[in-house]
Each structure stands twice: as C-alpha cells, then as structure tokens.
Amino acid sequence: MAGQDSASTGADGSEGYDLVVVANRLPVDFSVGDDGEVDWQRSPGGLVTALEPVMREADGAWVGWSGAPDLAHEPFEADGMLLVPVTLSAGEIERYYEGFSNDTLWPLYHDVIAPPTYHRQWFDAYRKVNQRFAEAAAAQAAHGGVVWVHDYQLQLVPKMLRELRPDLRIGFFDHIPFPAVELFQQLPWRKQIIEGLLGADLVGFQRGGDASNFLRSVRRLTGHTTRGSIVTTLDEHGRPGRRVRAAAFPISIDTNYFDQLARSPEVQARAKEIRTDLGDPDVMMLGVDRLDYTKGIRHRIKAYGEILQDGRIDVEHTTLVQVASPSRENVGAYQELRDDVEVLVGRINGEFGELGHSAIHYLHHSYPPEEMAALYLAADVMLVTSLRDGMNLVAKEYIAARHDLGGVLVLSEFTGAADELAPGPLLVNPHDIDGMKDIIVAAAHMEEREKRRRMRNLRRKVMADDVAKWSKAFLGVLTAVPSRSSHV
C-alpha cells in the first residue's frame, strides 16, 4: 500500500494517506463475471484526471462506491493510489442515491425544475451512508492529512469526519449549483446540511453566486456569523469557534487532452466520416448531455422543430445530432424525460424527415472521448441549453477540441460556464423559445471571420485554466492557512 512508504502516521498511530478524496463514485467500473469474480476497469472521468497527479505526488487514497449493489471489495492499488470501496445495499442505493441525492437534493439544488420529494426514510439512509463514508475516510487519512470531500451526495461527511478526526484538514467541493435560501429552506433537514458542510475548513463552489447563496443560508438558518467569505461558527454556549471559508473555484477539464485528441489524424478522419455518414450537411448541429431534465433537451428540440416548421432551415442542408447518455434510469423523473424526448424526436423526424435525411439523429448511448472529440470537431454549432447547470463541461470540451477555430457555441445563461465564458458564446435563455430559435438560426449562418474571432476568445479563456490548475488552486487555499487559524 502506498501509505506504507509514507512517513505519515494516522490518528491511531498507524500509517495513513496524506490526501484522501471522498466521492460518491470510485474512478473505476466494477463488473462481476459469470463465475462471481469481481473485476474492475478504470473509468477516466474529469475528477480523476484532475486529481491523479496530486494523488500520486501526495500519497493518495480515494474512498467511493463501486456503483453496484452489495459489492464488498477490499481496498486495492490502482495507478499509484489506494481505492477504498464503500459497500451500499440495494435498499441504500434506492434511498440514499436514487432517493435523497437524486430525487430530493438534485431537483432542489437545480431551482426545483422538477419537484423535489421529501422522505424521512431517504434522509435516514443518506445520514447512515454519509457516516460510512466518513468512517472509511477517517480510517485512511494520515495524522494531520488532507481530506477532500466531493459533491451533494456527501454533504454531512465534513462534520462527521471532523468529529472522528479533529486533526484533519477538510475541504468540500460542491459540483452542482447551491440554491437561493428561499428554495433551500424547503428542505426539512436544511440545518443538518449546513452544519454538515461547516465541518470543512474550506467549502468550494462553481460560481461566486453559489457561495453567496450558501453564506445567506448560513446567516438565515443558523446562529453562525459571516464576514465576507468567512463563517465563524458559534459553539453550543454561543462562543466563537472555528472559521470556515466559502469561495468559488470554477472547475475545468483536461484541456490539453481534448486539444491533442482533436489534432490526432484518427479523430480528424473520424470527424470527416461522421459528416459523410450524415449526408454531408451544410450545417451539423450537436447536443451532448446526460439524459437529465436540467439540460433543457426538451426545450432545445422543441425550438429545433419549430425552426424546421417555420422553414428557416431544412433537413437537406441541416441536421441535429443529439447524444443523450443514459443516466439515473430508476428515478421516475428521468424515465418521464426519456419518454418525452423520444416522442418529440419521433414526431419531428416523422414530420420533417426525408429518405436519407433525418431531422434529428438521436443517440441514447455513452461514447469514449475519441468519438466525442470527433463529434465536436464535426459540429458547426454546439447547443448547450441547460435550464440550470453547475458548470457544464461539454461546453469546455467543445472549445478545447476546436483548435481549428471553427464552430459556434450556443450556451445557456443558466450554466456556470456562461459566467466564465461570456461574451464568446451566443448566450440563450432556454425558456424563451422564440429567442432561442433566433440565436440557433444566427449560429447556423454566422460568418467564418466572426466564428474564428469568437472561438479564439473562448479558447484563450478555456485553455488557460485546466482541471489540474483547479485542483491545485483548491488544495492550495485549503492547505495555505495554518490549521490553528481555522479556530478564532
């Protein structure tokens, strides 16, 4: 185990890891063979790419769920880090993951686009599972080590972990939006969530607006005081206790990886092939999303259908490719969304499609990054029309892939990316169907010079801030302040 090479000693005197990441999922996919043997493969997501270099350097461990029910697996080494699986039963997956995380917190934090469901049994499961994650992290961290907890599924972990291991430096990063207090206060367990997060020394958000929403909730819903970005917690006797910082750290992607991928001859050839397979349209539009109701897929397809209906584009010259990767398929709102989108796509294709020319190419699959880069390179217009989105990394991937300075990004105002990237993209309000139609048509007809000018500006911003810089910035702030200064 990597920790055995380390000089660090855990709270109980045993050796431990200097950096422990705690996230709902491990960065590997598990599979169980016919013989019952458990196997795993790396699943290179954004977070693991960001953290891999720091994890290797810092002697790191990653605590997370395997993604399958009742799968118990010993901690194991992979690519220079220790992976520590947390076991969840089928019932816990239903109540903690599908229920409280994705049918309560997810819709609430995305401005109640879908109605959140509040069930006490779901919160009980969330609390129990968070405790399990906290215990697993506490068992791995070296004395005085750093633990970085990720995302809305694990908001109680910072406080639970601090109770178990007061010696640790604890950071939390929220990958999704943090809602306004007027919405957040619907949550029956709002105080527990705020107190859970305040167990951290640093709470990071995607946008300044999310950090402000959190600080307002702290002021409105607890007795703790805030000054600028600092919360001073009050103990049970009303005495000032620890100091917690809340600030924005907008996440990025591995920009260089996408840039290089899109420059490779194989990906360039595949991009050409995609256009040929589509019948060489003048304009190829592209949407790439998890099939999630926050992504505004229904709004986008409705607008597209109306543009066809109005005769402003036609299927001989223009086509839309919509990749909708399967997601959270046991949650009712996701099942409804899939039905709605598929009915809408079917109706538009039936009405406007011609032999050899589909209006919309709908793909309910996930693809490897090479295929994604080819799709990005092939697409003249990228449509990102989320109703609410913490950041939206697809927008950044598209920009990173467009080393040729081609392509137009249509981007929803309601994404974290819009805060960072404006004025390069064509901004849209996806609720304003007429406004969005005009912007989509303008994107399809944009002159080459204007496209290049905008893409150059976008690339200047995106290529400068990659995800490794993001993780270094967060960990830099988390570890900069001497630990005693987190106490007043």
- Closest approach, Cβ 25 to ligand F6P, in A, equals 5
- Closest approach, Cβ 255 to ligand F6P, in A, equals 18
Q: Which residue is nearest to ligand F6P (CB)?
A: 175
Measured between alpha carbons, how far is 130 from 253 in angstroms, rounded to an integer? 27
In 3D space, the residue among 106, 194, 107 whose CA is nearest the CA of residue 155 turns out to be 194
Instruction: Give the torsion sign (CA, 275, 280, 283, 288).
Output: negative
The C-alpha R_g of the chain, in whole angstroms, comes to 23
- Closest approach, Cβ 278 to ligand F6P, in A, equals 28
> Which amino acid, residue 470?
W
Nearer to ligand F6P, 24 or 213 (CB): 24
Nearer to ligand F6P, 105 or 320 (CB): 105
- Closest approach, Cβ 45 to ligand F6P, in A, equals 6
- Closest approach, Cβ 24 to ligand F6P, in A, equals 6
Measured between alpha carbons, how far is 175 from 149 in angstroms, rounded to an integer? 11
Nearer to ligand F6P, 157 or 439 (CB): 157
Nearer to ligand F6P, 328 or 437 (CB): 328
Measured CA distances, 277 to 362, 369, 379 (Å): 14, 20, 13
Strand order in the sheet with 360-363: 360-363, 318-325, 283-290, 381-384, 408-412, 426-428
Nearer to ligand F6P, 31 or 485 (CB): 31
Nearer to ligand F6P, 253 or 308 (CB): 253
- Closest approach, Cβ 327 to ligand F6P, in A, equals 6
- Closest approach, Cβ 485 to ligand F6P, in A, equals 31
- Closest approach, Cβ 394 to ligand F6P, in A, equals 12
Measured between alpha carbons, how far is 20 from 147 in angstroms, rounded to an integer? 5
Q: Which residues of 237-268 are buried (b: 16+ CB within 10 A; e: fewer)?
A: eeeebbbbbbbbbbbbbbbebbbebbeeeebb
The Cβ of residue 347 has, within 10 Å, a number of other Cβ atoms equal to: 13
Nearer to ligand F6P, 64 or 424 (CB): 64
Q: Which residues of 118-133 are buried (b: 16+ CB within 10 A; e: fewer)?
A: eeeebbebbbebbbbb
Nearer to ligand F6P, 352 or 474 (CB): 474
- Closest approach, Cβ 292 to ligand F6P, in A, equals 8
- Closest approach, Cβ 468 to ligand F6P, in A, equals 18
Pairing of strands 169-173, 318-325: unpaired
Q: Is 275 exposed, middle or buried (0-12, 13-18, 19+ CB in 10 A)?
A: middle
35 DSSP β-pair partners = none
Helix (H) or strand (E) holding 242: strand 240-248
Residue ranges binding ligand F6P (CB under 6 A): 24-25, 151, 175-176, 327-328
Measured between alpha carbons, how far is 229 from 94 in angstroms, rounded to an integer? 36
Nearer to ligand F6P, 24 or 415 (CB): 24
Nearer to ligand F6P, 2 or 54 (CB): 54
